Amino acid sequence: MEVRLQKFLADAGVASRRKAEELILAGKVSVNGTVVTTLGTKVDDKTDEVSYNGKKVVPNTHFVYVMLHKPEGYVTTVKDQFDRPTVMDLVKKIPERIVPVGRLDYDTSGLLLLTNDGDLTYHLTHPKHKIEKVYLAKVFGRPDENAVNQFKWGVMIDGRRTEPAKLEILEDLGKYTMCRITITEGRNRQVRKMCEAVKHPVATLKRVATGDVALGDLAKGKYRFLTEEEVRSLKNS
């Protein structure tokens, strides 16, 4: 079957479709021995030989979908330039070349998906799909109605308004308030910046759901495979 080169690379788990486009433009991909820098080049997934960084790319035979309860103190990259622990250290036993779907900050804990299904990664991380991500945030002070409304309208961060978001008050903890925050984008440190912008900085942050898939009682530092039902719901989200 003929597929676009960036989709071939994404399906093979090399990178997300967007990242694969960058790799192609950077001249890191060749087809049958010739470097290809044109996006959209079609390849036959059975007969063409695609290489990335000089190594043959083998299409996936089966996809794996993993949920990790990321602890604080881990970076969400495959390799860290400062040699800090990475989330990959926690899923070492999985032989497939899985990569994190999006990112959680070093100091954020909670639900992180990892997969070798580039299409699903693309689907879940593209802002146009507006997949809901739910966080428990312990914030300083007590957000009032005005803060709740600002989230509803979208908050200005880095000179650009966010999509409408939800801020729900769960519990008064005295100096802090426990909140549930729902966003549909994945901008850099988005929740922390939004809370900062409404003058209630985050003390601790944990992601508890992506779409209909919830972290539940999975222990910190542990992972599990998603159920078929969970995979289906993510694909349809």
Inter-residue contact 194 to 157 (CB < 8 Å): yes
Inter-residue contact 233 to 213 (CB < 8 Å): yes
Rounded least distance, CB 105 to ligand URA, Å: 4
Q: How far apart are CA 135 and CA 141, in angstroms?
A: 18
Number of residues that bind ligand URA (CB under 6 A): 8
Where does this chain touch ligand URA (CB under 6 A) — which range of 2-10, 40-48, 103-111, 209-217?
103-111
First to last CA, the chain: 26
Cβ distance to ligand URA smaller for residue 110 or 118:
110
Among 11, 21, 105, 117, binds ligand URA (CB under 6 A): 105
Question: In this structure, is the dihedral angle defined by the CA atoms of residues 198, 182, 127 and 36, taken in order, positive or negative?
Answer: positive
Closest by alpha carbon to 221, among 65, 64, 72? 72
105 labelled catalytic: yes
Q: Which of 11, 48, 89, 105 is catalytic?
A: 105
Cβ distance to ligand URA smaller for residue 17 or 70:
70
**DSSP assignments along 124-186, one per residue:** HH-GGG---EEEEEEEES---HHHHHHHHH--EETTEEPPP-EEEEEEE-SSEEEEEEEES--
* Footprint of ligand URA on 182-201 (CB under 6 A): 189-192
Cβ distance to ligand URA smaller for residue 5 or 205:
205
Binding mask 63-102 for ligand URA (x = CB under 6 A): ----------------------------------------
* Footprint of ligand URA on 23-42 (CB under 6 A): none
Q: How far apart are CA 44 and CA 2, in angstroms?
A: 4
Q: How far apart are CA 213 and CA 87, in angstroms?
A: 19
Rounded least distance, CB 102 to ligand URA, Å: 8
What residue ranges bind ligand URA (CB under 6 A)? 104-105, 108, 189-192, 205
Positions marked catalytic: 105
